[in-house]
């Protein structure tokens, strides 16, 4: 179980990238008082946490309702995470891990960014939502598995909150270039993990097809 916790923790830290969020948060809250920044950081992290927890608890039900098998979701999720990894490696800004230009302008016009774009899509974005579904779906919806994933989310969200609260100091110490260097290294790791998800989904899907074919031959 500790191995699952450690593996899941690494994946979620890479996907959410708390350090990489610090420069974005500092830019979006420029000119705000420390109290306002702290309030938005806490509220945004809490909302993102609630969304991720909901996906952990009802992810299987959602997939079943849509008629999506886990192998298909593994392949699709792996491809999505690979695109996210490419963005991280090349330090590109797209809707996968940051706001688009239009979203950025809308966020700058708002006084409170805690819901948008902080909670969604910066923290609980497509990559994070896909990752939690994959983590639980691959291991099975056992109480111990769910508890482990929820513990991982708690650690990652606390790290994210700490990064947001210290965003000004982190930006002054590392600068945007330093944050991009860390994101690039994490992006390479995420790319390898994404490929593994695709391979797992392909293998599981092929096994299911072989099983169906065998049953048809027996009948």
What does 51-83 look like in DSSP terms, one character per residue?
HHHHHHHHHHHHHHHHT--HHHHHHHHHHHHHH
Range of the domain at 101: 2-218
Q: What count of residues does the chain have? A: 219
Q: In total, how many domains does the chain have?
A: 1
Torsion sign across C-alpha atoms 116, 131, 16, 45: positive
Confidence at 96, pLDDT banded by 50, 70, 90: low
Q: What value does the mean pLDDT of the chain take?
A: 83
Average pLDDT value for residue range 143-157:
94
Confidence at 187, pLDDT banded by 50, 70, 90: confident
Q: Which of 65, 79, 81, 61 is nearest to 202 (CA)?
A: 79
User: Which residues does 60 contact at the CB level (< 8 Å), separation at least 6?
Assistant: 136, 137, 141
* Strand, coil or helix: 167: helix
User: Which residues does 98 contact at the CB level (< 8 Å), separation at least 6?
Assistant: 24, 121, 122
pLDDT value of position 188: 85
Confidence at 216, pLDDT banded by 50, 70, 90: low
pLDDT value of position 211: 64
Q: Look up the pTM and report it.
A: 0.77
pLDDT value of position 191: 86
Q: In the predicted model, is pLDDT for residue 204 greater than 60? A: yes
């Amino acid at each position: 179980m500790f191995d699952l916790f450690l593996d899941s923790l690494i994946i979620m830290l890479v996907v959410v990238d708390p350090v990489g969020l610090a420069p974005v948060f500092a830019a979006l809250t420029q000119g705000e008082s420390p109290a306002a920044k702290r309030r938005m950081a806490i509220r945004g992290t809490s909302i993102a946490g609630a969304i991720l927890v909901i996906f952990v608890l009802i992810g299987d039900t959602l997939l079943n309702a849509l008629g999506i098998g886990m192998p298909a979701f593994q392949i699709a999720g792996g491809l999505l995470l690979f695109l996210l990894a490419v963005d991280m490696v090349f330090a590109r800004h797209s809707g996968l891990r940051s706001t688009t230009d239009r979203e950025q302008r809308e966020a700058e016009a708002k006084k409170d960014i805690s819901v948008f774009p902080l909670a969604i899509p910066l923290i609980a974005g497509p990559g994070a939502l896909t990752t939690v579904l994959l983590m639980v779906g691959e291991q099975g919806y056992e109480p111990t598995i769910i508890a482990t994933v929820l513990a991982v989310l708690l650690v990652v969200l606390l790290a994210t909150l700490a990064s947001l609260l210290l965003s000004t100091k982190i930006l002054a110490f590392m600068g945007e270039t330093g944050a991009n260097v860390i994101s690039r290294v994490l992006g390479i790791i995420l790319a390898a993990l994404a490929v593994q998800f695709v391979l797992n989904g392909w293998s599981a899907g092929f096994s299911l097809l072989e099983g169906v074919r065998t049953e048809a031959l027996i009948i």
